[in-house]
């Protein structure tokens, strides 16, 4: 297994998923630059290898098995037996509107007739929805006007990019910094914006961002 083989496999998996390498990183909940060509070597010229955690997140995000990824590392140029899923239309609303009443039920699933629709890749969650990012608190990963796919059913871990709705009706896109039995800490990726800490009882729901437009 060689350094170039691993990176070629990631490039192939991105292409087979209809994504750029930046899009693949975003879909996996990683920084958009994680798989950039400039990140594949260190400043002193040594090879930089992607972490096993990054690869694991990519496999989850794309639905690719470890065996399939190994075949790409071994030289396969396409995902064996892969068939591109047709685009799926999912409900779409602006992040600024999402805090208004009538768009989500108590479980955080989209309801009502006020949603638009947009075609996005299949993510496997029948309750998935799209939000249009507003503001610059999550730059450079999410910019004003970017579309993100949100999955209420996706497992959430520390470091994931999430959409959170408070009991007061505030909806925000942040990075999960820490969650304990009593509190939750959220980060803005843009250092010009503050982070937030809430008691869990103040949170109505928290959903994971699983894909972002380019």
pLDDT digits (tens, 9 = 90+) for 89-148: 788 888 888 888 888 988 788 888 788 887 776 667 788 898 988 888 988 888 888 888
CB 100 within 8 A of CB 111: no
Token code pair at residue 182: 């009593």
Residues in CB range of 48: below 8 A, 6 or more apart: 39, 40, 41, 42
In terms of phi and psi (left: phi > 0; alpha: psi -120 to 50; beta: otherwise), the region of 89 is beta
Specify the pLDDT at position 114. 81
| Angle value at C-alpha 202, between 197 and 204, nearest 5 degrees | 115
Domain 89-212: top CATH class: mainly beta
* Domain coordinates in residue numbering, the chain: 3-73, 89-212
Q: How far apart are CA 30 and CA 22, in angstroms?
A: 9
Q: Give the pLDDT score at 201.
A: 95
Q: Residue 32 to residues 19, 104, 115: CA-CA distances in angstroms? A: 12, 29, 28
List C-alpha distances in Å: 28 to 18, 147, 183.
Answer: 14, 15, 25
Q: Mark the ranges of the chain whose per-residue pLDDT is less than 70.
A: 18, 77-88, 121-123, 214
Domain covering 3-73 in this structure, CATH number: 1.10.260
């Amino acid at each position: 297994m060689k350094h170039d083989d691993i990176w070629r496999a990631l490039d192939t998996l991105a292409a087979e998923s209809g994504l750029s390498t930046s899009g693949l990183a975003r879909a996996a909940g990683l920084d958009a630059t994680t798989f950039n060509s400039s990140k594949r070597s260190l400043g002193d010229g040594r090879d930089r290898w992607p972490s096993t955690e990054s690869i694991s997140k990519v496999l989850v995000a794309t639905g690719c098995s470890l065996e399939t990824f190994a075949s790409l590392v071994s030289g396969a140029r396409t995902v064996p037996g892969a068939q591109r899923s047709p685009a799926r239309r999912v409900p779409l609303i602006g992040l600024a509107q999402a805090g208004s009443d009538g768009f989500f039920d108590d479980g955080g699933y989209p309801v009502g007739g006020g949603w638009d629709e947009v075609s996005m890749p299949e993510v496997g969650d029948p309750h998935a929805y799209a939000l249009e990012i507003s503001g610059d608190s999550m730059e450079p990963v999410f910019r004003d006007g970017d579309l993100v796919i949100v999955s209420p059913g996706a497992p959430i871990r520390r470091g994931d990019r999430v959409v959170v709705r408070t009991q007061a009706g505030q909806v925000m896109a942040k990075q999960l910094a820490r969650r304990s039995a009593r509190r939750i800490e959220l980060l803005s990726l843009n250092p010009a914006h503050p982070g937030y800490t809430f008691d869990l009882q103040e949170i109505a729901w928290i959903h994971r961002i699983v894909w972002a437009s380019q």
